[in-house]
Chain A
Amino acid sequence: MIVSWNWLKEYVRLDMSVSELERRLMMAGLNHEETSDVGGDLAIDLEVTSNRPDCLGHLGVAREVAVLFERELKLPPIAAAESGPPAESLSSVSIEAPQLCPRYTARLIQGVQLGPSPAWLVRRLATIGIAAINNVVDVTNYVLMECGQPLHAFDLAKLAGPRIVVRRARGGERIVAIDHRAYDLAADDCVIADAARAVAVGGVMGGADTEVTLATRDLLIESAAFDPLAIRNTARRLNLHSASSFRFERGLDPEGVDWASRRACHLILELAGGTLAAGVLDAGRQPPPREPLVLRLSQLKRILGIDIPADRVRAILAALGNRETRHDAQTVEVVPPSWRGDLAREIDLVEEVARIHGYEHIPEDVSVPMAASARRDEDRVLDRVREALVGGGFDEAYTLSLVEEDMSAAFSPWTETDALVAHMPILRRADRLRRSLVPSLLAARHANESLSNPTIELFEIAHVYLPRGDSLPDEQLMLAITTGADFHALKGVIEAILTRLNRHKILEVAPHPLPLVEAGRSCKLSVDGTLLGFLGEVSEDGLRRFDLRGHATVAEIKLSVLLELAELVPRYEKQPAFPAVSRDLNLVVDEGVRWEAIASAVRAAGGTLLENLAYQDTYRDPHRLGAGKKSLLLSITLRDPAGTLTSQKADQVCEQIVSDCRRELGAELRA
């Protein structure tokens, strides 16, 4: 809302500096945007919150100024001599759509002399950015910006009937508005019609056919109330937003309908002459009387934390236009003013008193009682996961929760159900709620490759959205990781995370085909048989789809599984004091024998004395080992918790291991 300094002076004495005015208004809820000089006047731009449509006019702002500076508010004159014939004899008004338009009034002026507005009026409109058109249209705009109530002037001669019918638009109905564009109307749109056709989009914009021109002699001045939601829907659907629709959408002063009508007639008679018909055509409901509200003074202390003297409370409420109907030592009862539809409950009065009294009176150093608070297990687990990843050289990424359709389709290991779709994209074409973080991280790899960043090691922790019919989706927190290194490098990272959370858990892998991922280097990960996630090296095809030049490996881990298995308070285990014996074994096996089989045979043979088994290396040499053979170097640590392990005993265990591996896997000890 842009306010003219000179115009505001019409209603309240402005003897403060403009910056003081701006500051006080801001501290009372009208945030100051900027002030600019327009031809010697000041245009003060104020941000009006949606609950205060009363401040969408100069009078409303002047009322706030009057309250804040304890000045008198001067209302402008509205009296107009009704020297013409009865209004009913000239026209009629009926409402057929009371849900859309609860009240419609019309006043009629005959014999006006159209022409330019006087300089003072032109200047005031210019300050707030409205171009002058002619004296009648300018008056309707002036009154709109004075009190906030939109008005429309019809050329009475151009209205068929002449009469006004307020109804829903008919199928296929079309109107050319005063912006000279055609609008197709629908049944939810409220139209102002004459006996023949729609002549205005109710509450939004008048029609070109019946607008006032320099040739106009007789006027019908509309002042009405429209349903806020209906106006909003129509303005939105037609993409036709006006100063009128903006105000009707927020709900206006029901008493303002008649006041504005009278005020406009007063000004038109003054500026354009003519004769005002007697009475008003007034259809629909009269505004209902307002119910009184009771403010318990104790509520001020209870909500605000400060006491405000009763006299001050009553004075503030009265200054704001509340009519006091009763008061005692504990309560004040008031009827709020018609222009403050937002004052409907006791708490609304508490806010009004606080706002005008000043929030600076509320202390900022009271002692708030202490309360226990604990970090959630989830946060502690996430901390450890993040620590491990950062220690492993990974940077954390944040990517959008919605992705484009092809990205969504590219990889979805957790569900085969179609992704949820937002009714409009969040950015570019991204409208699919993602079912995996992996495509987003591959896109981030691509972005970094384009920037020639040499090392791209990324992870992200975020939700995926797994559809569950019509109910809320299953939002699973996932950890996705991508590296330029290979399968086993990333597997090692995941094993490190797992061990960090619970050192007794072992990562299980099973081959599992996945899109985007190289066949045979694509695995399902589990712990104790529970699905943990997926890991694989991106295939040539996958690299092409994401336009990647370099090698990439990806993994996605379900964090709820980690949360479940995490041992955040491990129990102390006493470490054996007896020395360990280490042995290296070189086992030659067929190419097809997997580590898992060897490890399991070694563990079984090693029994309780086997403290640790570590893989060291694989060696292949067709000349020395023979074709189709490989040699695995493994290190074992043996320890007897009950006593010193003799070297003979250690040798026995090694021999047992070798012979079991020979029998079960055809392994031979390499010399």
Chain B
Amino acid sequence: MALAEFVAELAGLLDDAEKAFAAAGDAQALEAARIEFLGAKSGRLKNVQKGLAGVDKDDKPAAGKRFNEVKEAIATAFEAAKERVERARTAVAGRRGSEQFDPTLPGRPVRLGHLHLLTQTIEDLKEIMGRLGFTAASGPEIEDEWHNFQALNIPPAHPARDPLENFYLATAGAATGSGPLLLRTQTSTVQIRVMEQTPPPVRIISLGRVYRPDTADATHYPMFHQIEGLLIDRHATMADLKSVLRLFAKSYFGGDGHIRFRPSFFPFTEPSVEVDMSWNERWIEMGGAGMVDPNVLAAVGYDPEEVSGFAFGLGVERVCARRYGVTDIREFYKNDVRFLEQF
């Protein structure tokens, strides 16, 4: 390339750049112009610089000199424009009456979602029980009568099997002899399924949705969540049960956490007890518990003379409602985002 041609290109570039900088009315326009001419990657000055390589060898020093002069001139023009824009900005601010930075304006919002309160509760319970050595287990919500009743020592004549006390499936079963299916009424079904698959010792916590035909009111809902613990070992006793429940109560609710047993009746445990814990100098109900009934152990193929165990169950909604002061458990299923976002 001839020197003249290169110099002409430089002159054109300088002319364009000065015009563009002069025309820039604000900082944004000026920045765009800066990128166009002085951009490090593909600015026009950079492109012209590449042309330097093509200039005849003898002309190179002159071309280089001229290039540096133009580069400096463009930089000067940019600085001048920058100063002008900045002055103008301050002047505008001055007219508005001394614009000031306001740190008390709200920050730009970041929207975070919320886990459902029941999920938070379930995770808390799982975490505490995990530290006590209980591993989470789950099983189907639709069950056969063996797992929901028979194996749990609830014989066919038992009132708990009444069709009005359960959600049976309308169609399944009878025709093929596989037996009727129903929505599980307790998560103890999971205990049966785990014990059927696992030789002792067993230490699990089962969780999930259960279904009972209760009329929905502030303390009942036909679908709710249960958390049930099961421990089977060679020497598991009711003292172990009480001690585990105490650790659990102290961990979750805090406080003095004493445990009280009141006799009760459940088909799948014997002895069966209602569990109370002390809280703010009062006894409050926690749930049901007991020693796994020998019939249940035998039903899953364990030897009741070899192993013993305990089980306990809590209603997640009730535990959660108490802890957070929710006065109507139907709130959990309304999904009003104003409720969801409180927690």
The answer to whether the Cβ of B213 comes within 8 Å of any Cβ in the partner chain is yes
Which of B15-23, B62-70, B87-95, B328-336 is found at the contact surface with chain A? B328-336
Bound CA span A609–B338, Å:
50
Task: List A contacts of B167 (CB < 8 A).
Answer: 402, 422-424, 426
Q: Does B238 contact A (CB under 8 A)?
A: yes
A28 interface contact, C-beta 8 A: yes
B133 contacts A363, CB within 8 Å? Answer: no
Interface assignment of A54: CB less than 8 Å from any CB of chain B: no
Instruction: Select B142's contact among A29, A236, A423, A433, beta carbons within 8 Å.
Output: A433
Q: Knowing A395-B114, A472-B181 touch, does A51 contact B265 (C-beta < 8 A)?
A: yes
From A27, A29, A306, A375, residue with most partner B Cβ within 10 Å: A29
In the complex, per-residue mask of A413-439: 1 if CB is within 8 Å of any chain B CB, else 0 = 000000011111011000101000000
Residue of A nearest to B155 (CB): A229
The stretch that binds A, out of B24-32, B72-80, B98-106, B253-261, is: B253-261
Task: Decide: A371 and B203 in contact? CB cutoff 8 A.
Answer: yes
What's the least CB distance linking A469 to chain B, in Å? 8
A359 to B136, CA, bound (A): 29
Tell whether A456 is near chain B: CB-to-CB under 8 Å.
yes
Does the CB pair A303–B134 fall under 8 Å?
A: no
Q: Which residues of B contact A374 (CB under 8 A)?
A: 135
Task: State the interface size on chain B (CB cutoff 8 A).
Answer: 83
Partner of B239, one of A305, A345, A355: A305
| Inter-chain contacts of A52 with B (CB < 8 A) | 265
**Measured CA separation A394–B142 after assembly (Å):** 29
**Chain B nearest Cβ from A329, distance in angstroms:** 20
Which residues of the other chain, A, contact B119 by a CB distance below 8 angstroms? 386, 396
B133 pairs with A370, CB closer than 8 A: yes
Q: Which chain A positions have C-beta within 8 A of B270?
A: 347-348, 350-351
Q: Does A395 contact B271, Cβ atoms closer than 8 Å?
A: no
A399 and B157 CA atoms in complex are apart in Å by: 34
Q: B237–A229 contact, CB under 8 A? A: no
The answer to whether A50 and B265 touch across the interface, beta carbons within 8 angstroms, is: yes
Complex interface: chain A residues within 8 A of B181 (CB): 472
Q: Cβ of A473 < 8 Å from any Cβ of B?
A: yes
The CA of A217 and the CA of B178, in the complex, are separated in Å by 58
Cα separation A365 to B136 with both chains bound (whole Å):
24
Q: Which of A236, A396, A456 is in CB contact (< 8 Å) with B162?
A: A236
**Contact digits for A356-373, partner B, Cβ 8 Å, 1 yes 0 no:** 000110111111111111
Interface of B: prevailing SS: mixed
A449-474 interface bits toward B, Cβ cutoff 8 Å, 1 = contact, 0 = none: 00101011111001101000111110
Establish whether residues B142 and A473, one from each chain, have CB atoms under 8 Å apart when the complex forms: yes
Q: Is the CB of B265 within 8 A of A470?
A: no
What 1/0 flags go to A366-388 for Cβ under 8 Å of B?
Answer: 11111111111001000000100
- Residue in A366, A375, A470 whose beta carbon sits within 8 Å of that of B178 in the complex: A470
Q: Residue B44 at the A interface, CB < 8 A?
A: no
Q: Is B242 part of the binding interface, using a Cβ–Cβ cutoff of 8 Å?
A: yes
**Once the chains bind, are B308 and A368 in contact (CB under 8 Å)?**
no
Flag whether B303 is at the interface (Cβ < 8 A). no
B335 near A397 (CB under 8 angstroms)? yes
Measured between alpha carbons, how far is A359 from B130 in the docked complex, in Å?
Answer: 27
Minimum C-beta distance from A95 to chain B (A)? 20
Q: Determine if B243 and A303 form an interchain contact, defined as CB atoms under 8 angstroms apart.
A: no
Query: In the assembly, what is the distance between CA of A399 and CA of B274, in Å?
Result: 30
Closest to A387 in B: B115
- Cα distance, A368 to B112, chains bound together (Å): 41
Q: Which residues of B contact A463 (CB under 8 A)?
A: 141, 209
Contact partner of A354 among B114, B175, B271, B274, CB < 8 A?
A: B271
Other than A304-B238, A360-B260, give 18 A-B pairs with Cβ distance below 8 A. A29-B265, A31-B262, A303-B237, A347-B270, A354-B238, A371-B133, A373-B132, A373-B133, A373-B134, A379-B126, A391-B112, A395-B337, A420-B169, A423-B168, A426-B222, A459-B113, A470-B172, A473-B142
22 A-B residue contacts at CB 8 Å? Answer: A29-B264, A50-B159, A303-B271, A305-B239, A347-B271, A350-B271, A354-B238, A359-B260, A359-B261, A360-B260, A362-B239, A365-B243, A371-B133, A373-B130, A395-B337, A395-B341, A396-B119, A421-B170, A426-B167, A459-B113, A463-B209, A472-B140
